[in-house]
């Protein structure tokens, strides 16, 4: 289960490079250094208490965190969060539309390849480039990479596209 709480996204206002940040931190231990709200078995720390205060999901009798695009009851991280953009300056609330919002994305013969952030893009290209590929499970966030992008036919295109972006940006 990924505990990723910030993604590199395209700013929905200026189209520049920005960060999308999960506004809440969930912990089972009461934090001593910052205020926290109680939600079932969780303590919820608000990263942006003014901008996006915690509201328990409506109708959820069981307090659980849902990951991915589930439609159950509970809280789904990385859905409604905060965009921090150097150009726009003031952080603002945004409903994430992933992977369309991904800053790191490439069209490979009409299919969308994306990365969570720069490090993830680097790990993808390293993995695709490797001639003797270890099992994907060992790589964590590479495990979800569709086999399509690993096929010999796409390999060179994928490497070229990702490396070009990595070299062009910081
Ligand atoms: Zn912006």
The encoded tokens of residue 132 equal: 């003797």
Q: What are phi and psi of 28, to 5 degrees?
A: -95, -5
If asked whether residues 12 and 95 sit together in one domain, one would say yes
Rounded to whole angstroms, the Cα distance separating 13 from 117 reads 19
Confidence of residue 123 (pLDDT cuts 50, 70, 90): very high
- My answer on whether 36 and 3 are in the same domain is yes
Indicate whether 92 pLDDT > 90: yes
Centre of ligand 1 to C-alpha 8, Å, is: 12
- Please tell me whether residues 3 and 53 are part of one structural domain: yes
What is the per-residue pLDDT for 1? 38
Q: pLDDT tens-digit profile of 137-163?
A: 666 778 778 889 989 899 999 999 999
Res 169: pLDDT: 77
Are residues 140 and 92 part of one domain? no
Residue 130 confidence class, pLDDT cut points 50, 70, 90:
confident
CA–CA separation, 129 and 123 (whole Å): 10
Tell me the CA–centroid distance for residue 89 and ligand 1, in Å.
Answer: 7
Give percent of the chain with pLDDT exceeding 90.
Answer: 68
CA of 18 to the centre of ligand 1 (A): 7
Identify whether residues 130 and 59 lie together within a single domain. no
Exposed / middle / buried, residue 11 (Cβ in 10 Å: 0-12, 13-18, 19+)? buried
User: Looking at the 3D structure of the chain, how many domains does it have?
Assistant: 2
Question: Average pLDDT for residues 75-98, to the nearest whole number?
Answer: 95
At residue 69 the predicted structure's pLDDT band, cuts being 50, 70 and 90, is: low
Residue 74 — very low, low, confident or very high, per pLDDT cuts 50/70/90? confident
For the segment 12-25, what is each residue's pLDDT rounded down to a tens digit?
999 999 999 999 99
Domain boundary among 51, 77, 102: 102
- Total residues found in the chain within this entry: 170
Residues 114 and 146 reside in one and the same domain: yes
Side-chain-facing half-sphere of 85: CA atoms under 13 Å? 18
Closest by alpha carbon to 23, among 1, 51, 43?
51
**Distance from the CA of 7 to the center of ligand 1, in angstroms?**
14
Q: 25 is in which domain, residue-wise?
A: 1-102
| Position 58 pLDDT exceeds 80 | no
Residue 161 is given by DSSP the state H
81: which 2 tokens?
């969060």
Q: Has residue 71 got a pLDDT over 70? A: no
Calculate how far, in angstroms, residue 1's C-alpha sits from the geometric centre of ligand 1.
30
Rounded mean pLDDT, 84-106: 96
Q: Do 49 and 1 share a structural domain?
A: yes
């Amino acid at each position: 289960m990924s505990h990723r709480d910030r993604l590199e996204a395209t700013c929905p206002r200026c189209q520049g490079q920005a960060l999308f940040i999960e506004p809440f931190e969930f912990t089972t231990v009461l934090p001593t250094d910052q205020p926290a709200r109680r939600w079932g078995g969780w303590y919820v720390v608000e990263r942006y208490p003014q901008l996006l205060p915690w509201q328990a999901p409506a109708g959820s009798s069981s307090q659980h965190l849902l990951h991915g695009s589930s439609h159950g009851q509970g809280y789904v991280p990385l859905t409604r969060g905060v965009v921090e953009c150097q150009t726009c300056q003031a952080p603002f609330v945004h409903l994430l539309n992933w992977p369309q919002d991904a800053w790191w994305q490439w069209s490979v013969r009409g299919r969308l390849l994306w990365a969570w952030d720069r490090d993830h893009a680097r790990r993808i290209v390293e993995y695709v480039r490797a001639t003797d590929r270890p099992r994907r499970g060992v790589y964590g966030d590479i495990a979800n990479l569709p086999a399509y992008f690993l096929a010999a036919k796409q390999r060179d295109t994928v490497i070229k596209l990702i490396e070009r972006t990595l070299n062009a940006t910081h």
